[in-house]
Structure 1
């Protein structure tokens, strides 16, 4: 499902390589046979605005959206497990799924980073890809309505992913759910998180020890590379003995 590769790039931190190929992105979406006309229109509007902005403005907007607070985190298990121990094991299991498919992570990102997950799903054939998307559709839908609430056109990317998954999600119910949510990306909200963050010494990150930020992307993770995320062949990938999907 090649459209997932493109959506992965658009959700990832915008870089020079992507920005230089705006016309190719338009052509790809226009000719894709899996997208509905409504999703194509929404994606085209997103592309028109983002590629007509300067790259620096786009990057600044991206930072403000996805790198502050947790409500718009692009880490799947942050929404499911928060900072609990279950999150560490879930990432270990997901990484094992990647390797069972003969793939390994070729950049410094956590396994549950959504663009990386989409890159993986795009290699698994259309039906398997839809299954993987369906597994995380509730999270994608939640991100879509939170972005929509902020009048941000990034919501189009996540709405499109929900459509491609085929999952039946009550978007209106989610809109009601987030209607009264308070923003967690303000200076006051961020300061409160740091004040309340417990520090535990004597263990590793997965088991609750210090450092507490080991499961979060660093500020430099997406800024220190001008190449898109990618998988590499796993030289010693274990042989899968079961289903790919968990």
Structure 2
């Protein structure tokens, strides 16, 4: 991928500004590998240069820029790989482990291809950084449609991150502030989903589940 409650967030209106913001969100939600860590200073400058100031991202960058690489890697795996409630695979929240999720993944991949984009190899098309990058490239209308479709899932992730005290909640605050707010009915649905969990249908869907094996480590 390329660099390019709503406390401390500001809605971004111009398409080019939204694209810059979404690219930053995409990068900051990726695993902190050597390439991302080497770009921390550049990312900090990009956040500071946003036309609409984003104090939440600035606060996140202060945390992200000061942490040692091993701590960042452990935080990321613990936050996103080992907890279903804050998994970054969006179709899980809408469809759970059901056959409908496989169709949703296929539809999303086809949406990318129609726009002339190819999802990265080895990553599911509903991975939130991939969805944000698509939104940045394809524009507010078609590009942000998957984010709007999964708005309730994004709210669940944000709520889970806040409950866990994770600094990554600041990044979700910014993303959610750039999208339409939830209606009262949607907020009730989010609360119900947080209690009951997504639909379950275990047969034949292991490849689509978010990684949850506590022995699994990233390279």
- TM-score interval w.r.t. the shorter chain? 0.7 to 0.9
Change (3 A) 1:135 1:6: same
Change (3 A) 1:221 1:115: farther
Match of 2:59 among 37, 45, 55: 45
2:79 maps to 1:65 = yes
Match of 2:69 among 55, 69, 91: 55
2:127 maps to 1:109 = no
> Residue deviations 1:1-42, cap 9 Å, x none?
122122111111111111112221122112212x4x4xx111
Relative to the length of structure 1, the TM-score reads 0.69
Instruction: Tell me how far 1:141 sits from its aligned partner.
Output: 1.7
The higher radius of gyration belongs to: 1
In the alignment, the residues of structure 2 paired with residue 129 and residue 48 of structure 1 have an alpha-carbon distance, to the nearest angstrom, of: 30
Give the helix-richer structure, 1 or 2: 2
- Equivalent residue number for residue 216 of structure 1: 209
In the alignment, the residues of structure 1 paired with residue 151 and residue 210 of structure 2 have an alpha-carbon distance, to the nearest angstrom, of: 22
Relative to the length of structure 2, the TM-score reads 0.77
Alignment check: 8 A CA contact 1:141 1:169 kept: no
Query: Aligned with 1:103: secondary structure?
Result: coil
Change (3 A) 1:133 1:120: same
Instruction: Tell me how far 1:135 sits from its aligned partner.
Output: 2.2
- Equivalent residue number for residue 194 of structure 1: none
- Number of corresponding residues: 193
In the alignment, the residues of structure 2 paired with residue 118 and residue 136 of structure 1 have an alpha-carbon distance, to the nearest angstrom, of: 12
In the alignment, the residues of structure 2 paired with residue 137 and residue 101 of structure 1 have an alpha-carbon distance, to the nearest angstrom, of: 21
How large is the Cα RMSD of the aligned pairs? 2.9
Unpaired runs of 5+ in structure 2? 1-18
Instruction: Tell me how far 1:169 sits from its aligned partner.
Output: 5.5
Unpaired runs of 5+ in structure 1? 185-196, 200-207, 225-246
